[in-house]
Amino acid sequence: MTSRTKIDALLRSAKPGIEVTVKGWVRTKRGNKNVNFIALNDGSTIHSLQIVADPTIISEETLKQVTTGASIAATGMLVESRGAGQSVEIHADSIEVLGIADPEKYPLQPKKHSFEFLREIAHLRPRTNTFGAVFRIRHAMAYAVHHFFNSKGFCYWHTPFITGSDAEGAGEMFRVSALDPKNPPLTEDGEVDYKQDFFEKETNLTVSGQLEGELGAMALSDIYTFGPTFRAENSNTTRHLAEFWMIEPEMAFYDLNDNMDLAEEFLKYLIQYALENCADDLAFLEKRLLDEEKTKPAIERSEMSLTDKLKFVLENDFVRLTYTEAIDILRNSKPNKKKKFQFPIEGWGTDLQSEHERYLVEKHFKKPVILVDYPTEIKAFYMRQNDDGKTVAAMDILFPGIGEIVGGSQREERLDKLTGLMDKMGVPQDELDWYLDTRRYGSAPHSGFGLGFERMILFITGMTNIRDVIPFPRTPGSASF
Ligand code: ATP
Ligand code: MN
């Protein structure tokens, strides 16, 4: 058997005049009784390859089974194509149907399906052009993440998915238990006795690898995590998943400015990598977005194409300003004065909502924004307390169309300050004794941040719903596949 060539490799280094075998899934078949044209896609590229099948060579019985969705192997001569839009095609000597797809039942017809419908068939949607492109880019971005940190001497640090502390995510964690829910052992008070559970304590799925990430940084200097993160928050938005992937670098001896510099360089690197390595898929998604924009009323249409947006972020410095400055801008903004915000900006100290973040980025600055020095009360206990006594060295990066894409901070390395805030916020010290040890022994200034991987993929692909950039989304009420 001739060995199989992937379509991507074939189109890149196509030399007409050789015999090749390709394997993939039929996108469409058209033609007449004299000739059939089969568009074959194997997922290695957005492009399908045309197979020309002559009914005097390929049996009618075989051709009947070559329908949309069927899997086939085709062998034949690679020749220059006379058709528009493709350089080469295969003139088939033989076609083997590997798996039929009953045209009466196959859910993916060769027409436009809505993303809502495709989410219901998430097991098949990777076979569409849009999802093929999104998931190839997702792969490329994962590779680029590792490449970026490896080239800077960071260590890929694996933090646990099962956590025994609920310091960070109280109330929004998924419980992990091996107890029989119908008949759990009880304490004398009638509570579930987790001492008899697998880990002999209450455990949950992690909401962040940061605390354990800090332990790595306090020994290896620079680490990053890249793994799944779980949040049982009931926010049914286009930017939240119950299971998402997060990249969390943590760097010893970095202050907040070093932290911001690294985050900006990292985001730009990922965009650059996509532009250089995912051009065909981006071109397809750019056109998709353009078509989608055309269906919107003129005032809502974006003036920039997908590539324009990516290049714009690449070529401009992110705006850096304090939370306090942002509040001033927002308080005096038109939508606030005209009461257009769902959550009006009244005073200093409240958390910013996504509508505020997007106003700053999309309307006011028209650039990515890094907000720093948030009020202590609305941020986590581990953020470094500023000298003003009311803010912490936090930084959030806000992106157009997305809102918050990165959340980070310089960490509080001073034991007394840290425990002081923990007490004030009601974070139990005994549970985090291991964490506090890093402040007791060889404590050092350090910083880190978390990038939501899917939010970055949203930005790069121009997709609008986070459910459409992860193969199998987990959201409230939905855990199929
Ligand atoms: P948001 O305010 O948007 O809910 P957050 O403040 O809860 O975000 P962090 O705890 O700082 O977010 O997490 C770091 C990053 O992880 C965020 O900047 C975002 O990119 C991503 N992220 C947070 N929650 C989710 C989620 N439910 N689904 C997908 N990504 C998320
Ligand atoms: Mn959140």
Q: Total structural domains in the chain?
A: 2
Q: Which atom of ligand 1 is nearest to the CA of 450?
A: 14
Q: Quick: pLDDT tens for 222-273.
A: 999 999 999 998 888 999 999 999 999 999 999 999 999 999 999 999 999 9
Q: Do 360 and 414 share a domain, yes or no?
A: yes
Residue 78 and residue 145 share a domain: no
Strand 155-156, strand 222-230: pairing: parallel
d(CA 42, CA 21): 12
Same domain, 41 and 159: no
pLDDT value for 165: 79
Cα–Cα distances in Å, from 366 out to 129, 270, 293, 312, 357? 31, 20, 19, 10, 11
Cβ-based neighbours of 285, under 8 Å, separated by 6 or more: 130, 133, 134, 137, 306, 461, 462, 463
Mean pLDDT computed over 271-286: 98
Sequence-distant (≥ 6) Cβ neighbours of residue 307 within 8 angstroms:
275, 282, 286
What's the rounded mean pLDDT across residues 86-104?
Answer: 95
**Is residue 303 in a domain?**
yes
Q: 234 alpha carbon to ligand 2 midpoint, in Å? A: 10
Q: Which helix (H) or strand (E) holds 141?
A: helix 129-151
- According to the per-residue pLDDT averaged within each range, which of 85-99, 106-120, 242-256, 285-299 is highest? 242-256
| CATH code (residue 313) | 3.30.930.10
Rounded to an integer, the average pLDDT of 467-475 is: 98
Nearest C-alpha to atom 27 of ligand 1 is from which residue?
240
Please check whether residues 235 and 338 belong to one and the same domain.
Answer: yes
> What percent of the chain shows pLDDT beyond 90?
89
Mean pLDDT value across residues 79-87: 83
380 φ, ψ (degrees, to nearest 5): -80, 160
The strand ranges marked E within 253-326 are 319-322
Domain that holds residue 80: 7-111
On whether residue 1 sits in a domain, the answer given is no
Q: How many angstroms is it from 342 CA to the middle of ligand 2?
A: 18
Q: Which two tokens stand for residue 350?
A: 């409240």
pLDDT beyond 80 at 14: no
pLDDT of residue 437: 98
For residue 85, pLDDT beyond 60: yes
Does residue 196 belong to any structural domain of this protein?
no
For residue 195, is it within any domain? no
* pLDDT of 157: 98
Q: For residues 102 and 145, state if they share a domain.
A: no
Enumerate residues lining ligand 1, CB below 6 A: 231, 239-241, 244, 246, 404-407, 450, 452, 454-455
User: Which tokens go with 42?
Assistant: 């194997």
Q: Please say if the pLDDT value at position 338 is more than 60.
A: yes
Distance between CA atoms of residues 156 and 249, nearest Å: 9
State the pLDDT at residue 2: 55
What ligand is nearest to the CA atom of residue 467? 1
pLDDT at 86: 77
Helix, coil or strand: residue 475: strand
pLDDT in tens, 282-317: 999 999 999 998 988 887 777 789 999 999 999 999
| CA 41 to ligand 2 centroid distance, Å | 39
Pull the structure tokens for residue 467.
Answer: 């459910």
Amino acid, res. 361: V
Both 91 and 22 in one domain: the answer is: yes
- Which single residue is written with the structure tokens 């970026």? 148
CATH of the domain at 86: 2.40.50.140
Whole-number pLDDT of residue 287: 96
Q: Do 333 and 373 fall within a single domain? A: yes
**How far, in Å, from the CA of 341 to the mean position of ligand 2?**
19
Name the residue with the closest Cα to ligand 1, atom 8: 404
Q: Based on the fold, state whether residues 103 and 131 are members of the same structural domain.
A: no
Selection from 459, 400, 411 nearest residue 436 by Cα: 411
Q: Could you give the angle at which helices 433-440 and 415-425 cross, rounded to 10 degrees?
A: 150
